[in-house]
Amino acid sequence: MASIQDYNVVEQFNSRLEEIRSKLLDQAIGEVLNDTAAELCQEHRRYMKSVLDTCVKKCKEDETMFDRIHAYQEDMKEKTSLLKEKRAEHLEVVSEIEDKEHNKVLLIQRIEKLKKDQAKNRELIQSQNKANKDRLKKLNKCKDVFQKHLSLEIRKIQGENLQFVFRNINRKDPDIVHTFLLQLDAEGVYHIISCDPSLEKIAHLERRLQETNNFSAFLANVRREFVALHSSAKMA
């Protein structure tokens, strides 16, 4: 009986020791865990603070970057608007230059046409002047002939008009004058302005002069008509 009791005591003692060991072990583990947890919490706090500081710094950098991007965008908008204005001004200037070039071409063409027209007019004037000189020579020749033989006098009156004065038409009164007024227009065409005394055939004689340009024959025909006028008057 005593040995059995001793065995129980040992068991109880061992069991008690195991409990004490377990408690001590649990206590030691708890302290270790507590220390580890505290250290982990402190390390976590330090890490989170570092992360937070980094995030705050990054946010500030991002804000600065966003401000720069916004400023760059505004500057780009302003420059784009200015570029559009410059492009519009450039197109307007180019359009004005093209209009001026077109007007220049038209002006050159007009000048060339005026030069050609002027050259034609100059040739026409020279031709008319030559023709007028030739007519003047013929008139002077006729004047000399008629003045010498038929007592014809030519007077320049009313600008460029010529008055032809005939005498010796009427043998009884040779001083009686018979006249007609002649005009030479810019194209070198003869026109009878007036005739005194009036002749029925003066219009026909004018047309013949314009057709033939034979002034000597014209003067002779006019004189003949004046003579015939007196002859018919005498017979009447």
Comparing CA positions, the residue from 187, 177, 184, 190 lying closest to residue 218 is 190
Q: Which residue positions in the chain have pLDDT lower than 70?
A: 1-7, 128-129, 131-132, 135-136, 138-150, 233-236
Residue 145 confidence (pLDDT):
65
Element spanning 168, H or E: none
Asked, for residue 88, whether it belongs to a domain, the answer is no
Query: What gap in Å lies between CA 204 and CA 195, rounded to an integer?
Result: 13
* Structural tokens at position 45: 């706090």
Asked, for residue 174, whether it belongs to a domain, the answer is yes
Residues 6+ apart with CB under 8 A from 15: none
Asked, for residue 70, whether it belongs to a domain, the answer is no
Q: What is the 3-state secondary structure (H, E, C) of 173-219?
A: CCCCCEEEEEEECCCCCEEEEEEECCCCCHHHHHHHHHHHCCHHHHH
Residue 207 confidence (pLDDT):
96
Residue 122 confidence (pLDDT):
79
Q: How many domains does the chain have?
A: 1
Strand partners, 62: none
Asked, for residue 74, whether it belongs to a domain, the answer is no
Asked, for residue 101, whether it belongs to a domain, the answer is no
pLDDT tens, 167-183?
Answer: 888 888 888 999 999 99
CATH of the domain at 227: 3.30.457.50
Asked, for residue 209, whether it belongs to a domain, the answer is yes
pLDDT tens, 131-164?
Answer: 667 766 766 666 666 666 667 888 888 777 899 9
Query: What gap in Å lies between CA 87 and CA 180, rounded to an integer?
Result: 78
Asked, for residue 182, whether it belongs to a domain, the answer is yes
Asked, for residue 199, whether it belongs to a domain, the answer is yes
Domain that holds residue 169: 135-235
**Count of all residues that appear for the chain in the document:** 236
Residue 223, number of CB atoms within 10 A of its CB? 18
Query: What gap in Å lies between CA 223 and CA 167, rounded to an integer?
Result: 9
Stated pTM of the model: 0.43
